[in-house]
A and B are shown apart, each in its own frame.
Chain A
Amino acid sequence: MKTVNELKMTVDSKSVNEGFSRVAIGAFIACLDPDIEELNDVKTAVSEAVTNAIVHGYREKAGKIYITVSISDNNIVRIRIRDKGVGIEDIPKAMEPLFTTAGSERAGLGFAVMESFMDSVRVTSQLGRGTTVTLKKRIWGKNS
């Protein structure tokens, strides 16, 4: 498995960049000719991960979000979204559906959406150092 194309970008932890990040990543993977559902799955998962970095990682304060997207020769898209925020104390708990620390307007389903829309979701975190979410999905494309 060889990386054939890679995108690296850094965005400020501002909510306006949620839309920018998912659209930019959607455009980057367009070369794999994803169908509407695959494209929407990736954009939705990215939106969840970037929102988590802003709302939880940085607690809506200023920070940077580091995004790497790589496409491998077997059409697997790997998206790494990293923040240098507060970190997660208990990862399994944070990933439980309906668990949230952000109040009644957040459903606590961000990780559930990522897990349901991507092939794999991996989370690593260190308290006080930040969190990295790695999302993977094989794009079969319109011709599959």
Chain B
Amino acid sequence: MPVKIETQGKSIRACIQGDIDHHSAFMIRKAVDAEISRRRPRLLILDFGEVTFMDSSGIGLVMGRYKLMKGFGGEIRVENLSAGAYRVMRLAGLERLGEIKQKEIV
């Protein structure tokens, strides 16, 4: 499974693993959306810490989930983006939709 989902109170954390492209986005979307409609969380955290590659399919993934969460008053946060993924997200202006955070450099 390309995504690990944890529920923490009123929020859901989805840890995406591996490459995000048009091929993998479908499965990730299906898994995350099923959990959102089941739990109706206040906050959805998309954790990109274990993402190894991302193209513009990642933007579609975030935008689609943003619309879904917004539909019932929820929020979205994107965490642990690699430098490359962060550049793609910035290109789309996604920082306007929610909190977009880069991976902390240790």
How many residues of A are counted as interface, with CB atoms below 8 angstroms from the partner's CB atoms?
24
**B-side interface residues toward A, CB under 8 Å?**
19, 21-23, 25, 29, 53-57, 59-61, 63-64, 67, 83-84, 87-88, 91-92
Q: How far is the CB of A142 from chain B (nearest CB, A)?
A: 16
Contacts A37-B83, A37-B84 given; does A48 touch B67 at CB 8 Å: no
A16 engages B23 (CB within 8 Å): yes
Contacts A37-B84, A44-B84, A113-B56 given; does A18 touch B23 at CB 8 Å: yes
A109 engages B91 (CB within 8 Å): yes
Question: Which residue of chain A has its CB nearest to the CB of B29?
Answer: A105
Q: How far is the CB of B54 from chain A (nearest CB, A)?
A: 8
Q: How far is the CA of A41 from the CA of B55 in the complex (A)?
A: 10
A104 engages B67 (CB within 8 Å): yes
A54 engages B91 (CB within 8 Å): no
B21 engages A113 (CB within 8 Å): no
B22 engages A18 (CB within 8 Å): yes
Contacts A105-B29, A116-B91 given; does A55 touch B64 at CB 8 Å: no
Q: How far is the CA of A3 from the CA of B29 in the complex (A)?
A: 42
For B64, list chain A residues within 8 Å (CB): 104-105
